[in-house]
């Protein structure tokens, strides 16, 4: 009788363990997908902002046609790369966006060199918007990488490891960073007193 009860207890504990592991994995999968969509949203914002920016400086930047055109070209290829992208194709999108980031950085450096352009209030606000959009993209990327890493690690950990197949979990591709400084992820223990 006691043996039966013990067996029953162990079985219940095992079921509980599996169910909670399964739920954890599913929740992480959802969070990863959601974080990925966030990047998408922010990239779209960035793409939408660029025409505004280029239009407002077009007149003053006659000499810098090349810079302007490279931004527009980079934007267009980034848009085509991001249509229908999934976490699995993160690498391709990242490459196209990397080119756009470089073009925008060059562009902003050029704007800095035109004091007349900076003097108009509109450019100040647009610059702030662009700076913020760049930050939003990189923070969305950071949030995606953090959740995806947690998701990936949990698939290889016990006991989630055992239910990974049932939950349909697969390794999410991280958004590769080209900047070495950005690559360092600080490990912050929230329990630190």
Partner 1 sequence: MATFQDLQDKNRKRTKLIVVCFVLFFIWLGLGLDLTLYFWSGGTTRIVDNFYSYNHWTPRSSGTGITIPSREQKQFLPIFTIIVGLAGVGFAWWGMSNAASTVLGAMRAKPADRNRSLEEQTLLNVVEEMCIAASMRTPKVWILPDADPNALAVGLTEGDYHIAVTAGLLGTLNRDELQGVVAHELAHLKNQDTRLMTTLTVLVGLTALISEFVARSRLEARGGDRDDNRIGTIIYVFWLISVLLAPFATQLMALMVSREREYLADASAAQFTRNPEALARALEKIAAASAPTTVVNAASAHLCIASPTAADLSYDAADSWFATHPPIKSRIYRLLKIGKMQ
**Footprint of partner 1 (CB under 8 A):** 31, 34-35, 38, 42, 124-125, 128-129, 131-132, 135-136, 139-140, 142-143, 147, 184-193
Residue with tokens 């949203």: 41
| Cβ proximity to partner 1, 140 vs 172, nearer residue | 140
* Angle in degrees, CA 39, 86, 95, rounded to 5: 65
Interatomic CA distance for residues 127 and 176, integer angstroms? 26
- Least Å distance, CB 188 to partner 1, is 4
Residue with tokens 């450096």: 109
Q: What is the largest CA-CA distance in the chain?
A: 91
| Cβ proximity to partner 1, 52 vs 132, nearer residue | 132
| Cβ proximity to partner 1, 98 vs 129, nearer residue | 129
| Cβ proximity to partner 1, 31 vs 76, nearer residue | 31
Instruction: Give Cα separations from 131 to 3, 119, 135, 140, 184 (angstroms).
Output: 67, 17, 6, 14, 22
- Least Å distance, CB 10 to partner 1, is 27
- Least Å distance, CB 46 to partner 1, is 13
Interatomic CA distance for residues 69 and 62, integer angstroms? 11
- Least Å distance, CB 62 to partner 1, is 27
């Amino acid at each position: 009788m006691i043996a039966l009860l013990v067996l029953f207890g162990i079985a219940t504990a095992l079921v509980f363990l599996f169910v909670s592991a399964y739920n954890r994995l599913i929740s992480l999968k959802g969070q990863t997908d959601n974080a990925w969509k966030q990047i998408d949203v922010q990239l779209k914002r960035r793409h939408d902002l660029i025409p505004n920016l280029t239009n407002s400086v077009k007149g003053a930047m006659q000499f810098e046609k090349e810079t302007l055109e490279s931004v527009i070209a980079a934007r267009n290829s980034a848009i085509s790369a991001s249509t229908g992208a999934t976490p699995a194709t993160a690498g391709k999108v990242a490459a196209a966006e990397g080119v756009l980031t470089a073009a925008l950085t060059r562009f902003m450096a050029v704007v800095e060199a035109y004091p007349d352009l900076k003097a108009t209030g509109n450019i100040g606000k647009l610059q702030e918007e662009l700076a913020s959009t760049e930050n939003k993209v990189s923070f969305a990327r950071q949030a995606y990488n953090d959740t995806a890493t947690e998701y990936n690690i949990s698939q290889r950990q016990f006991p989630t490891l055992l239910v990974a197949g049932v939950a349909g979990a697969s390794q999410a591709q991280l958004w590769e960073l080209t900047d070495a400084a950005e690559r360092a992820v600080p490990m912050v223990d929230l329990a630190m007193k």
